[in-house]
Chain A
């Protein structure tokens, strides 16, 4: 199987028998997931810990992934959101999924890796790649509303325009992104 060409669903299905398939899946989403956690926690070590736990949970649940959904982004981020919320409730990053997989070594990051994680907080991975296809004004509005989860009044204030115009840009941007995603799948 050509891992570069395979869909997420195919990689997850193949990971039951081919560990390299899961590694390819990891490579595909690592940066965006690290960025997601780094932005929300503001702590590189916690972000790395959460990333490891989410991928471990994804590996444990890979056999239940439905291949008719070629893109696993929504599924993976649902796990990520859940892990983040559960960890916040407990006050500690979970390690349950890793324990189940027999992963017992703690994660220790060197200075370079810490720096890499911090820099990922400002990058958006495939989301960024997708957003790059939007016109600048729409990209800015979609990033602020969807990626950074900011309110319309807040965005309108920063962009020096009305909420209505921001909504318009978000709406148009999302329409284009949906079309892109449908084409991809």
Chain B
């Protein structure tokens, strides 16, 4: 394989040779014990390793002895900063804006394996019908991150997490609310820092490396796996197995909330990702118990949902009721489709448009435009989805990139949240055939032959499977985000080492 950056390889090879020639290098244990730095380092006589302010050491000591001194000992620092990405601020697009007055703590408090502040959860809703969950450390009824493991300058203080800070987690932790504004959601986050802030520790079970002199280094045991969820008011408890021991944990409150926190283990590669939703999967939970006496035994096929989610077969989530606005029928949604060819220098583009008969204001519902391009080599369908609120009577449109000559046909569907299907017994069949919603309309257009473009700039055609209008909008957004990112971080190459 060709080396991409030979100059770096050569520099490292020479550095490795220098280290190999050094007699001390062959006695790393002695150097470490003596507190000596690596060879060639300025000030190599200084002590290396994990150094934290005294407050952190005290906090860890208290944690290790099981003392729950919480905020009285450590105290609060400044609140965590808002996320660089604007979260929950756009009321009609994406996930929507935070609905004022909906943030509430859930009655959950789970001890951390190393002691100290426990872990808690809170829930809030958004203007686009989502319910969201955040998980972090819990102090004085507030969700906080701890200044350790490189977070907040290792000040050892608690830093309150606002919704806009992005909390401790990453990825999707929102789901559509049901008819009674209840949230059903299960997920896991693997290898999260015990600080509950976004700075990660080194993977557990591996030696530390890559940290600057004086920069804190996380203890190996400072990563956590978080398994959490809301199972609804019908849930009573969950059973899970850890280290061969079986435990039963009562769910809390009308939300049916649960939270399990464990230490991350070595060799977790690719296991730090949750794939659950309908029911918890990929974690230690083996059974869900409901108030009517029913038990859902989870299986290897639970992620499928429907009849496969539990043994014996039962419909999950128990108690979920789809909102009427998310259960439109074909008769309610169908509408004429306008499909118009537009001649451009690069060929014919297709403008597709419909007038929506229904209002769609849920983050997990919208229209899906699909067009099929026969003869395309690998895939053969293009696609575009709406991402914002749609009013009844509003015209929705998109324009494809230039299409090849021949017949192009397609469909427009109304898609809905997974939960809508969860309330129907057809879930398995729906997904088996990848049904994505109700059919709204279809179209079929013949694209005529076009002469080759004479402008060389147009001889790099975009894929006919993409929406050119969406690409242009996305490129505008991307450029703006990159500008903002660079302004915020001003990341430059290193000065000469």
A residues near B (Cβ < 8 Å) are: 15-23, 26-27, 30-31, 34, 41-43, 45-46, 48-49, 51-61, 63-66, 69, 71, 73-75, 78-83, 85-88, 91-109, 113, 116-117, 120, 145-146, 149, 151-153, 157-158, 160-165, 167-168, 170-171, 174, 177-178, 181
A86 to B210, CA, bound (A): 10
Docked CA distance A153–B482 (Å): 22
Distance A42 CA – B479 CA, assembled complex (angstroms): 12
B452 at the interface (CB under 8 A from A): no
Return the CB mask of B198-236 against A: 1 if under 8 Å, else 0. Answer: 011011011111111101000000000000000000000
Interface pair B5/A48, CB less than 8 Å apart = yes
Say if the beta carbon of B91 comes within 8 Å of chain A. no
Contacts A31-B4, A66-B206: A15 and B270 contacting too (C-beta < 8 A)?
A: no
Cross-interface CB contact of B12 among A22, A73, A96, A152, cutoff 8 Å: A22
**Residues of A contacting B37 in the complex (Cβ-Cβ under 8 angstroms):** 100
Cβ contact of B210, chosen from A27, A57, A174, cutoff 8 A: A57
List residues 153-186 of chain B with CB under 8 A from any CB of chain A: 170-172
Q: How far, in Å, is B387 (CB) from chain A's closest CB?
A: 8
* Contact with A15, one of B16, B170, B278, B494 (Cβ below 8 angstroms): B16
Select A181's contact among B205, B270, B434, beta carbons within 8 Å. B270
B residues near A (Cβ < 8 Å) are 1, 3-5, 7-9, 11-20, 25-26, 28, 37-42, 44, 150, 170-172, 199-200, 202-203, 205-213, 215, 266-271, 273, 275-278, 281-282, 303-305, 363-364, 368, 370, 381, 383, 385, 387, 415, 418, 421, 431, 434, 436, 482, 489-497
Complex Cα–Cα for A16 and B13 (A) = 11
Docked-complex contact A34 and B5, CB < 8 angstroms:
yes
Chain A residue with the shortest CB-CB distance to B1: A27
Contact in complex: B304, A74 (CB < 8 Å): no
Cβ-defined contact, A61 with B275, below 8 A: no
Number of inter-chain CB pairs below 8 Å: 270
Contacts of B215 in A (CB 8 A): 86
Closest 7 CB pairs of A and B: A61-B209, A79-B210, A57-B210, A19-B16, A64-B207, A95-B497, A102-B40
Residue of A nearest to B306 (CB): A164
> B4 touching A96 by the CB < 8 A rule?
no
What is the minimal beta-carbon distance from A58 to any residue of chain B, in angstroms?
6
Can you report 21 A-B residue pairs in the complex whose CB atoms are below 8 A from each other?
A22-B12, A27-B9, A30-B8, A48-B8, A57-B211, A59-B19, A64-B209, A66-B206, A75-B202, A79-B209, A83-B210, A100-B41, A109-B7, A145-B273, A151-B172, A153-B364, A160-B368, A168-B304, A168-B431, A170-B273, A171-B282
A78 to B102, CA, bound (A): 37
CA distance A92 to B269 in the complex (A): 29
